[in-house]
């Protein structure tokens, strides 16, 4: 992120944004201050001839990012999960970015496979097809295992993609630093945080062993879920740049004509895909965060098949309970309880008025519940909820933003299968079951049991914790009373209570 080459890359980026008409779209979405607008146009307008033309049939932002190449496409996809940063409208546009890039040659892919797995390709596979799908980071080939003839899908990273991404990410960091230096008012947009988040996502996707691990964990969590199936990972044929899964035959979930021709019940599929997402998010805290039609198939027996595990969501147990209570409160139209949950979780600052917040939530929920069932949208409610909580100073939580974004995508998939689906009716039993198991009396007993185990395990450390707390307390006292006996007893009690509280909090959360 340091070097003159980044300036050249930013000029080319600005020129492409200007040429495609995307510059003002992006600046408006980020609510960029005047100084940044001037700087951006100064980098773009004089050099428009250097910019890529892109596909005029695409919206300006997606046209520009697609023209700029893989790193920019991936950056757009990541930003589509952050409506808190780019706004809902641009996030919706970026969500339709297609990873339909020119594939690299089959021979080159085979060389990469042989190099990564340490054996000639013909020893591992008796057939190895031309690319059947090409994305920004990798492409997929259909192959057959040598000896058994089992059909598999082989995912291979693009040659040199790590270096190409590193250069572009360095330019992104450089741009973020310029924004922070020249426009301090833009720091509220958290440019460095956004780029760091993107960098972390890309680093994970550039190591296919991590995707293989995510697929394996997801499969273990969902192995008993009726009507849902994941192709198994073939670990012996996986490496950092290669991932091999069993082949999954099926009809694309977005092909309604083919689903009807195969006599699949689209209403049942719509309900099942929604229930599965909620079940995985609430029960497991680990969910597929890219559940669009392109990553879902329907097997001949009606099972929903999921694949492409590059983007997975994770939420801890405490956050799951909060999310479930919020959803359940909306289902029951108990807006006061929804407001209280936000305050209890610390999502909304304590200096805000809980009753006023509850009234704002009612203004969000009631119009939606007054709609016809076919128009009730959980995605719309979550978007409105985001707007309200932002007004009340709610701090951004990335895991909830990803959960919200995935909920909107899954709802879109469900409605494409059955436009008349009642989202809340389908969601209610899943949320109620989770509430009963995680917030009722049995859950309280279970939490107390966990607390006792933690106290038993860390009990020997309590004297050290108390001693450290006393030392800290003594150092913070006035110099005139370093050994005050009156202060010692409260400090001891406070230290012990604090240590116990920390252990209890850890256990409960």
Task: Kindly name the residue from 84, 99, 170, 290 that is annotated as catalytic.
Answer: 290
Q: So what's the pLDDT on residue 153?
A: 96
pLDDT tens column, 337-352: 989 988 888 888 888 8
Mark whether 258 and 273 lie in a shared domain: yes
> Which residue is associated with the tokens 């952050």?
82
Mark whether 347 and 449 lie in a shared domain: no
Q: Virtual CA dihedral for 129, 133, 134, 138, nearest 10 degrees?
A: -80
DSSP at 287: E
Domain termination site, one of 384, 407, 439:
439
CA distance 73 to 63: 10
Q: So what's the pLDDT on residue 499?
A: 38
Mark whether 371 and 489 lie in a shared domain: no
Query: CATH number, domain at 132?
Result: 3.30.200
Length of the chain in terms of residues written:
509
Mark whether 81 and 136 lie in a shared domain: no
Domain termination site, one of 439, 457, 485:
439
Mark whether 170 and 81 lie in a shared domain: yes
Q: Which of 88, 66, 57 is nearest to 17 (CA)?
A: 66
Mark whether 430 and 450 lie in a shared domain: no
> Which residue is associated with the tokens 């780019």?
86
Mark whether 346 and 267 lie in a shared domain: yes
Alpha helices (H) along 69-105: 70-79, 83-86, 88-95
Query: How many CA within 13 A on the CB side of residue 337?
Result: 13
CA distance 71 to 68: 8
Q: Which residues of the chain have pLDDT under 70?
A: 1-5, 30-31, 78, 81-85, 87-88, 95-101, 182-190, 368-387, 389-390, 395-401, 439-447, 449-451, 455, 458-459, 476-509
Residue 290 bears catalytic tag: yes
Mark whether 150 and 254 lie in a shared domain: no
Query: How many CA within 13 A on the CB side of residue 441?
Result: 0
Mark whether 491 and 343 lie in a shared domain: no
Q: So what's the pLDDT on residue 481?
A: 47
Greatest Cα pair distance in the chain? 87
Please state the pTM of the whole predicted model. 0.72
Contact 20, 174 (CB under 8 A): no
pLDDT tens column, 237-273: 999 999 999 999 999 988 899 999 999 999 999 999 9
**Domain count along the chain:** 4
φ, ψ of residue 131 to 5 degrees: the values are -60, 135
Give the residue numbers spanning the domain of 109: 105-157+207-225+232-247
> What contacts 339, CB < 8 A, 6 or more positions away?
348, 354, 355, 357, 358, 361
Domain termination site, one of 421, 439, 457:
439
Mark whether 259 and 349 lie in a shared domain: yes
Tokens of 502: 């920390």
Mark whether 409 and 276 lie in a shared domain: yes
Mark whether 300 and 390 lie in a shared domain: yes
């Amino acid at each position: 992120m340091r070097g003159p080459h980044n300036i050249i890359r930013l000029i080319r980026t600005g020129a492409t944004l200007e040429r495609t008409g995307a510059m003002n779209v992006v600046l408006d979405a980020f609510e960029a201050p005047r100084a940044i607008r001037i700087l951006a146009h100064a980098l773009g307008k004089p050099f428009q001839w250097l910019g890529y033309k892109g596909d005029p049939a695409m919206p300006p932002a997606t046209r520009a990012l697609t023209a700029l190449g893989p790193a920019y496409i991936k950056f757009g996809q990541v930003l589509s999960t952050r409506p808190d940063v780019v706004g809902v409208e641009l996030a919706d546009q970026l969500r339709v970015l297609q990873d339909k890039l020119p594939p690299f040659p089959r021979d080159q892919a085979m060389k990469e496979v042989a190099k990564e797995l340490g054996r000639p390709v013909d020893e591992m596979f008796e057939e190895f097809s031309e690319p059947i799908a090409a994305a920004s980071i990798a492409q997929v080939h259909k192959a057959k295992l040598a000896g058994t003839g089992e059909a598999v899908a082989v995912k291979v990273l693009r040659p040199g993609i790590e270096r190409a991404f590193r250069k572009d990410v360095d330019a992104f960091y450089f741009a973020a630093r310029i924004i922070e230096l020249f426009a301090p008012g833009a720091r509220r947009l958290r440019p460095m945080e956004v780029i760091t988040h993107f960098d972390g996502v890309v680093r994970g996707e550039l190591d296919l062993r991590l995707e293989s691990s995510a697929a394996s964990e997801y499969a273990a969590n969902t192995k008993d879920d009726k009507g849902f199936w994941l192709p198994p990972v073939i670990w012996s044929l996986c490496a950092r740049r290669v991932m091999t899964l069993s082949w999954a035959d099926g009809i694309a979930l977005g092909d309604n004509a083919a689903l009807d021709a195969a006599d699949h019940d689209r209403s049942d599929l719509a309900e099942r895909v929604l229930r599965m997402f909620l079940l995985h998010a609430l029960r497991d805290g680990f969910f597929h965060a890219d559940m669009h039609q392109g990553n879902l198939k329907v097997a001949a027996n009606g099972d929903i098949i999921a694949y492409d595990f590059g983007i997975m969501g994770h939420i801890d147990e405490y956050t799951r309970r909060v999310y479930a209570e919020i959803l359940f409160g909306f289902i029951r139209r108990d807006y006061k309880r929804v407001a209280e949950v936000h305050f209890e979780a610390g999502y909304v600052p304590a200096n805000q008025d809980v009753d006023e917040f509850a009234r704002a939530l009612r203004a969000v929920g009631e119009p939606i519940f007054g709609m016809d069932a076919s128009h009730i949208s959980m995605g719309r409610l979550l978007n409105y909820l985001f707007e309200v909580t932002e007004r009340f100073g709610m701090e951004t939580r990335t895991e909830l933003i990803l959960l919200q974004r995935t909920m909107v995508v899954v709802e879109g998939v469900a409605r494409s299968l059955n436009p008349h689906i009642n989202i809340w009716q389908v969601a209610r039993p899943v949320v109620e079951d989770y509430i009963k198991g995680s917030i009722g009396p049995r859950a309280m007993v279970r939490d107390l049991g966990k607390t006792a185990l933690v106290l038993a395990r860390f009990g020997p450390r309590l004297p050290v914790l108390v001693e450290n707390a006393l030392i800290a307390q003594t150092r913070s006292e006035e110099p005139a009373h370093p050994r005050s006996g009156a202060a010692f007893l409260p400090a001891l009690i406070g230290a012990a209570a604090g240590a116990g509280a920390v252990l209890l909090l850890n256990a409960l959360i």
